Structure 1
Amino acid sequence: MEFCPECGAMMLPNNGILKCNSCGYSNEQELGDEYKVAGEIEEHESVKMLGEVDDMRSTIKETCPECGHDEAYYELKQTRSADEAPTRIFTCAKCKHTWRAYH
């Protein structure tokens, strides 16, 4: 396996020479039998972002100011400078209302 010296992408065989599909760089020397592409790789999403699936988020006993439900999902985000505490963002598990707390 060889990588493009220009952009670092993997070089693939193309008409007997190695060619970079990202930037177009090609290695002009003839290829032997060791360079073969076995098949196509299908692109698919395999990474789930935390927070997109309700069951994966952290929950806490927190009363929703909108509906009064006592369970919420929460996350911490650094919304101000790094020397200040992060902001806690809550989402009601029942009505999906979102609010924040600064501590």
Structure 2
Amino acid sequence: MFCPECKTMLISSGGQLKCRKCGYIRKIESTEHMTREKKRTENEITIVDDEDDKVKTQPTMQIKCPKCENNLAFWWLRQLRAADESEVRFFRCTECGHTWRQYD
């Protein structure tokens, strides 16, 4: 819950909610339920795997594959080196699945 005066989060203490910033105090009524979100277990996490359906959602680019010479590949960027250096562009051929990288 948040303070109606200053919009800061209220802290529960001694059966009441207190605002650290402005001093607003509100008693907790028995009808109000204050619960913490329970942590998820591994069984509750849903993993979406689109490899079985062969659904490809990555952007494509016209570039020649060094293995099969196909002219279309998926691409993505990753920061592999220090933050002040440029990203590395990865490509995966749409035909043979060969993956290669290109440095800028």
Tell me the TM-score normalized by structure 2.
0.54
- CA distance 1:63–1:86, shift in 2 (3 Å): same
- How big is the shift at 1:2? 1.1
- Structure 1 counterpart of 2:63, one-letter code: E
User: Which runs of no fewer than 5 residues in structure 2 stay unpaired?
Assistant: 1-33
Q: What is aligned with 1:26?
A: none
- 1:23-38 equivalences in 2 (<5 Å): none
Identity of aligned residues (%): 34
The root-mean-square deviation of aligned C-alpha atoms, in Å, is: 2.9
Structure number, greater radius of gyration: 2
Kindly provide the amino acid, as one letter, of the partner of residue 56 in structure 1: T
Q: What 5-or-longer segments of structure 1 have no aligned partner? A: 4-8, 11-19, 23-41
Give the structure 1 partner of residue 71 of structure 2.
70
Could you list the runs of 4 or more consecutive aligned residues of structure 1 that deviate by over 3 angstroms after TM superposition? 51-54
Counterparts of residues 1-103 of structure 1 (less than 5 Å): 1-3=34-36, 9-10=37-38, 43=44, 45=46, 48=48, 54-103=55-104
Cα offsets for 1:7-64 (capped at 9, x unmatched):
xx44xxxxxxxxx9x9xxxxxxxxxxxxxxxxxxx8362x647x85652011000100
Could you tell me how far apart the structure 1 residues matched to 2:48 and 2:80 are?
23
Q: How many residues align?
A: 67
Which structure has more strand as a fraction of its residues? Answer: 1
